[in-house]
Amino acid sequence: DDLLRRQLVEGPTVLARIHAVKELAASGRRPNIGAIVDAHGAETHWGVRCVMAEALGKSNSAAAVAGLALLIAVERDPLVLPVVFEAAEAYRDEAIRRAILQRLDEGIGYVATQTAYVALGAQREDAPYELLLAAAERPGFNGIEQIGAIRGLAATRRSEALPVLLRLARYGGSSYYVRPAAVRALAALGAHVETRERTQIVEALVELLRDPVYQVAISAVIGLETLEADSAIAALEAYARGKVRQEAVVARRAVDRLRKKGERAGQIPQKELEDLRNQVRRLEGEVARMKV
């Protein structure tokens, strides 16, 4: 570890320092995580700092949480900051939440703001829901920040986000750039809500298969597959029939996967089937003895 910590700071190449980051983070030891955080401030290459953030996101340790909160506060490179926020999605922690809100108050770039909103949504019940809701309703340059807020709403897993996402996904509800993201967010939310809301989402995605905007319709196809909505197989087949080969292939693959999953679900495992047969034979033998 001592050699790796030295390589982390003094490594002559980017690859050498990246190797040290990955090995130290994989150990999970507090001194090694601390060494990565300490080295971040002196690291001059943006790529190495990205790897540092990613490694902290995967570490799943208290030291990594504290380190990421610090990185959020001090990182100024617009290429690195979005990666730091993406790494922060792995943790639900008040220090990270406060650090993200502070950076948003200071003002950061479009892409960084997008990833910051998603990381805030990942705080689940501690997410600043009203902030995300307001940002999801606010149009902006190419919808970049708005898309992040929409993804953040889905990441909260709150059922009250459903009406907002439904409206933003429908024709006229938001811009050309934003609607496909709203459709994908619906599918993401659908995996974590009650059956009634999930059914509502599946029905909305089926309707969106008929949307004139290709990116919206294809996002609905992918969303239905994500939700494993076998009830939508007929609608997906109808969508595929009305498209040229290149556009239909995604829907056909989705139908194939849904059907195969349904077949597997309907199959009884061989061992379980054999156990059932043995039980039937024993019961038949007992009945025969009783008759005698």
Closest listed residue to residue 41, CA positions, set 88, 1, 8: 8
* Residue in the structure block whose two tokens are 């609607």: 179
Q: What is the pLDDT of residue 5?
A: 94
CA distances in angstroms from 11 to 28, 29, 39, 140, listed in the order given:
21, 21, 12, 42
Which domains can be identified in the chain, with CATH numbers? 1-108 (1.25.10.10), 126-292 (1.25.10.10)
Contacts 24+ apart (CB under 8 A), 244-250: 247/214, 247/218, 250/218, 250/221, 250/222
Are residues 151 and 168 in contact, defined by beta-carbon separation less than 8 angstroms? no
Helices 144-156 and 129-136: crossing angle in degrees, nearest 10, is 140
Check residue 292 and give its pLDDT. Answer: 52
d(CA 145, CA 44): 28
pLDDT at 277: 66
Task: Measure the CA–CA gap between 140 and 227, rounded to whole angstroms.
Answer: 30
Please give the chain's pLDDT, 292 residues, in tens: 789 999 999 999 999 999 999 999 999 899 999 999 999 999 999 999 999 999 999 998 999 999 999 999 999 999 999 999 999 999 999 999 999 999 999 999 999 999 999 999 999 999 999 999 999 999 999 999 999 999 999 999 999 999 999 999 999 999 999 999 999 999 999 999 999 999 999 999 999 999 999 999 999 999 999 999 989 999 999 999 988 888 889 899 999 999 888 665 555 456 665 676 677 767 766 766 666 5
Distance of CA 251 to the CA centre of its chain: 22
